[in-house]
Amino acid sequence: MKKFILICIWIMLAAKALTAQEQLSIKQQADKLFDRYEYFKSLKLYLKLADRKNADIKLFERVASCYRYINQYPEAEQWYERITANPKAEKLSHYFYAEVLLRNRKFDQAKQQYKIYFTNDAGALALKLNDCDSAMVWMKQSTGYKVANTTAANTKSSDWGASYDGKTGIIFTSDRETSDGKTDNRTGNSWFRLYEYDLNTKETKELILDAGNNPEFKGAYHIGPMALNAGGDTAYITLSTETASKNLPIDKVTRQKLYTRRLQLVTACKKDDRWVICGSFAYNNVKQYSVGNAVLSTDGKLLYFSSDMPGGFGKTDLWYCAKESDGSWAKPVNCGNKVNTKEEENFPFVDDNVTLYYASKGLPGMGGYEIYAATGSKANWTSPKNLKYPINSTSDDFNLITRDGTSGYLSSNRENGQGNDDIYEFAFVKDSIKIIKPLTPGTVVTSGKPSAPAPGSSLPVPGSYTTGIIYYDLDKSFIRPDAAAELNKLADVLKRYPGLRVVLSSYCDSRASYLYNLALSQRRAKAAAIYLVKKGIAITRIAAKGYSKSNLVNQCVDNVKCSEADHQLNRRTEIKVVQ
């Protein structure tokens, strides 16, 4: 009997020891995955251990960090609230708790946590408190921009990094589910791949990137974003790399060799309607730093990109390379401390007006990545301007593209999106030229089908309230010769009858999005108004407003096939003369 009892005790002790070893092995495995940045996979293991009675505060901090890294902010907030209530919590947890609270728009609570963390850095505290105050104020003000989710392009996964693909499409990157079932352990989603989105049909299809004769690009890696040249036959694409621990230098902070993914740029050439990798950027160095998220200047002579290469001002900076006479790229040059800070700068874009748009975490704003604009070139820039709400939010807002500064696309992981990151379209709907003061126009009714403009078409006479019409080319707002002839006649009438005013109501055809067309219709209304002003008509007599693709005169709505002649009838400005 005594022997039996001893055997039972031995079995119980052995089982307890095995359980302890099991717990230790799960913890070690989770830590290893965490150090490899595989947060989605390590989170599952940490959560198993967190349910046990002997779970400590360090384990809870790992759980919260995992949720924060994979952008699950409501869950991260719950865990940080639990952690910071414990006196053994690391001070850094208060900072991360504050960041999550700011993102979740709980500004007063965020301020309290920032004050707990920044006890010895008044400057940093002031900057963070300013972010909270700016967010509260800017969200109540109007900047004239409207932002809407590009719902047809987005999924429940992460969709971001739009670039223009001609006039009728965009290319973006997404980790949406694919048929091969392969996933990235960092996020639990698929690998990022490139997709083409048609602005007219609202259809999305995968853009296949052929590795060509480059075997090193046939493994598992993320693809995107992609930037095209003006001709649309050459692209600069960001790829992630998988580097084994043994090939990495020792990390300066942790003193460890960490398994990581760095970024590199490759050149892709379009061959027979296929994209094939045809070269590697000369200044890639995946063993030491990342290079990615590039964009070409409109003339193709400058390549801007983001990198953490040595010689910068912060964690990641904006750099540029100038194209040499032989077509190669000169050595990278830092874009300077006007746009770069000690934090992260990324996702540059340069529009036709030589305005640089980029994302930064180091300038005053609302928190997270925010979009700024500066004018200049190379390393000479004006002070960056925060584009404020709703272009920016308390979340990460980045990768803005635009042709004219009034409409375009941006990426954001803001609340109420369809997935993690989403693509949003924006347009400036409040006229930025103060000399044009839109009035509220009366209802303009076009009876029947308007005829094509002709040199001898009738114009309104005093008291008739007759509607005249001028037309525009596809995706253009300039005044055509036939439209100029009509406006000249209108100007003569207005000069003869000083008591008359004119209402200009501009429209677009149904192709492209509502917000894009809203900005285009505003430009058309403004162009017509400016033309009349140059003809001597006082601006106080003109009301000009754009109405996007509303009030179509025929059946050419979205997804209905129409001729160009039918679409032309909707690209118009209706002229109404009133007393």
Q: Give the count of alpha carbons within 13 A of 355, CB side only.
A: 17
Q: Do the domain assignments include residue 181? A: yes
Task: Tell me the DSSP string of 455-510.
Answer: TT-----TT---EEEEE--TT--S--HHHHHHHHHHHHHHHH-TT-EEEEEEE--S
For residue 372, give the 3-state DSSP assignment: strand
Pair 161, 123 in one domain: no
Q: Do the domain assignments include residue 312? A: yes
Q: Do the domain assignments include residue 209? A: yes
What distance in Å separates the CA atoms of residue 133 and residue 135, rounded to the nearest whole number?
5
What distance in Å separates the CA atoms of residue 55 and residue 440, rounded to the nearest whole number?
65
Pair 226, 207 in one domain: yes
Q: Give the count of alpha carbons within 13 A of 179, CB side only.
A: 1
What the block records as the tokens of 257 is 């060799």
Pair 232, 103 in one domain: no
CATH of the domain at 503: 3.30.1330.60
Cα–Cα distances (Å) from 172 to 152, 176, 293, 483, in that order, read 13, 12, 12, 38
Phi, psi dihedral angles at 537 (to 5 degrees):
-90, 130
DSSP 8-state symbol, 379: T
Pair 188, 293 in one domain: yes
Q: How far is CA 525 from the centre of its chain?
A: 28
Pair 304, 401 in one domain: yes
Pair 229, 122 in one domain: no
Pair 82, 213 in one domain: no
Q: Do the domain assignments include residue 77? A: yes
Q: Do the domain assignments include residue 231? A: yes
Q: Do the domain assignments include residue 516? A: yes
What distance in Å separates the CA atoms of residue 259 and residue 243, rounded to the nearest whole number?
6
Identify the domain boundary among 104, 138, 172.
138
Pair 166, 114 in one domain: no
Identify the domain boundary among 428, 456, 488.
428
Which residues are registered as beta bridge partners of 373?
Answer: 357, 385
Identify the domain boundary among 138, 162, 178.
138
What distance in Å separates the CA atoms of residue 12 and residue 16, rounded to the nearest whole number?
6
Pair 271, 153 in one domain: yes
CATH of the domain at 32: 1.25.40.10
Cα–Cα distances (Å) from 43 to 254, 454, 488, in that order, read 21, 69, 70
DSSP 8-state symbol, 541: G
Q: Do the domain assignments include residue 32? A: yes
Q: Do the domain assignments include residue 458? A: no
Give the domain range for residue 387.
145-428
Pair 98, 153 in one domain: no
Q: What is the pLDDT of residue 520?
A: 93
CATH of the domain at 238: 2.115.10
Q: Which residue type is seen at 178? A: T
Task: Tell me the DSSP string of 90-155.
Answer: -HHHHHHHHHHHHHTT-HHHHHHHHHHH-SS-HHHHHHHHHHHHHHHHHTTS--SEEEEE-TTT--
First-to-final CA distance of the chain: 114
Pair 251, 345 in one domain: yes
Residue burial 492-508, b: 16+ Cβ < 10 Å; e: rest: ebbeeeeebbbbbbbbb
What distance in Å separates the CA atoms of residue 265 and residue 239, rounded to the nearest whole number?
6
Pair 131, 157 in one domain: no
List the chain pLDDT tens, one digit each, 579 residues.
Answer: 444 444 444 444 444 444 444 455 888 999 988 887 888 889 999 999 988 888 889 999 999 999 999 889 999 999 999 999 999 999 999 999 999 999 999 999 999 999 999 999 888 888 889 899 999 989 988 788 999 999 999 999 999 999 999 989 999 999 998 887 777 777 778 889 999 999 989 999 999 999 888 777 766 578 999 999 999 999 999 998 765 555 655 545 444 444 567 899 999 999 888 999 999 999 999 888 999 999 999 999 999 999 999 999 999 999 999 999 999 999 999 999 999 999 999 999 999 888 999 999 999 899 899 999 999 999 999 989 999 999 999 999 999 999 888 899 999 999 889 988 999 999 987 643 332 332 222 323 243 333 333 333 344 444 444 458 999 999 999 999 989 999 999 999 899 888 889 999 999 998 888 888 999 999 999 999 999 999 999 999 999 999 998 888 888 887 778 888 889 999 999 998 887
Domain count, the chain: 3
